[in-house]
Amino acid sequence: MVETAVETASTQVTIKEFLALPESSRLIELVEGEIIMTPPPVDAHQKIAGDIFFWLRQNVTGGTFRFAPTGVYLDDENFVEPDLFWVGAESARCRLIENKYWRGAPGLIVEILSPPTARQDRGVKFDLYERHGVREYWIVDPEAAFLEVYALSTCSKLTSRSKRLRLLEKRSQPPHPRPLSTGGEGSQIARDGPKVSLSMHGEGDLGG
């Protein structure tokens, strides 16, 4: 895999200037007032995104899922394009604006690590999502084949809620995931997006 570095603009821009930028084949985000440009994802990245989307659609009832390059406006200095995010059906915290982008914190954000983005996804974006109250943040590490799950605690900190969960590997057939149960903390998705969780704890295959 060819490693291409993330490019960061050297000057601060306003959200108005950012939203006026022309369309590009690259992923362009505004993070802490700076423009971040990332090369297009490789095929393996997109396959993992598709597999996770498939699993979530089989297990989550209601709400809206979106892929990058769908934008999320968090504040006037931060406009991100997560690999995948989910908004609860009745969430008042994240709304579609003029059919262009979503404004506010989604209930779930998934970021798939790559050489150009790993440091950002584990660092500044982790802090950003925590600060804005994203209920659950999943970090997917394709090289290690693990998914890390972080949930917002009562003290508004994203904390690891379980051991890392092994990703699906080398399956010729789609997974047959177990439905999320409707009872018990950490086993359901509330309608307003406070918790998004896998149906098992500890280490195991995503999808059962």
pLDDT at 11: 66
pTM of the model as a whole: 0.77
pLDDT at 194: 33
pLDDT digits (tens, 9 = 90+) for 33-88: 999 988 888 899 999 999 889 888 888 888 999 999 899 999 999 999 999 999 99
Domains along the chain? 42-166 (3.90.1570.10)
pLDDT digits (tens, 9 = 90+) for 114-128: 988 999 999 999 999
| Element counts in the chain: helices (H) and strands (E) | 4, 14
Query: Any alpha helices (H) in the chain, and if so which ranges?
Result: 15-19, 43-59, 118-122, 124-131
Report whether pLDDT(94) > 60: yes
